[in-house]
Amino acid sequence: MARKLAIRPELLAAAAAGVVLLDQWTKYLVVSRLPVGARHELIRDILFLVHVVNKGAAWGMMHGRMNVLALISIAVFVLLVVYFRRFTERVGERELALALLLGGIGGNLIDRLNLIPRPSGMVGVVDFISVQYVPRQWEYPSFNVADSAICVGVATYCLSCWLRRLPEPAAAKPVAKRDWGQVLRDWLRP
């Protein structure tokens, strides 16, 4: 019998879908209203609305390798779905964390696969939030709603695993130690 989830599956799917929809809607607003490279100050010297097209991963890693990043995203997405129950262990915050992670991966994957073409014709992940400290010339890489969901999901999952340690399953019968030397000798014997 399959283990049930702590949170109803349709609510987890709605959370993931909500992240994707919010991510794509905010990207649509940015793409339709700001030219690529635009920068508007929201909070003086700290928070900016920008329009950046990222053709790599975080901090410019793997720039120009959109196909590889898309394949990695698909693989991680599938693994998270297939092993969802094993990763979450019926702990509600872990389930929600993975739902956020799935939504974030899905939102950026739509951009990487160019499933919603842009008027500019540029292919890549649209980033539009920029946190900086102008007086010290410090700038954090631009990001979007999907990136935020991924970070919050990973942080929540890690904190949950650290703070809520589950009891170890009952130990099975002790397994006799193998004499690996004897195993090797038996294997090599003609």
Catalytic annotation, residues: 127, 147
Is 27 exposed, middle or buried (CB count within 10 Å of its CB: 0-12, 13-18, 19+)?
Answer: buried
| HEC letters along 11-78 | HHHHHHHHHHHHHHHHHHHHHHHCCCCCEEEEECCCEEEEEEEECCCHHHCCCCCHHHHHHHHHHHHH
Structure tokens at 41: 């100050």
Backbone phi, then psi, for 127, in 5-degree steps?
A: -110, 145
Q: Is there a contact between 20 and 28 (Cβ–Cβ < 8 Å)?
A: no
Structure tokens at 155: 């942080």
Q: Is the backbone of residue 30 left (phi > 0), alpha (psi -120 to 50) or beta?
A: alpha
Structure tokens at 1: 């019998």
How far is it, in rounded angstroms, from Cα 186 to Cα 190?
9
Measured in Å, how far apart are the chain's first and last C-alpha atoms?
A: 46
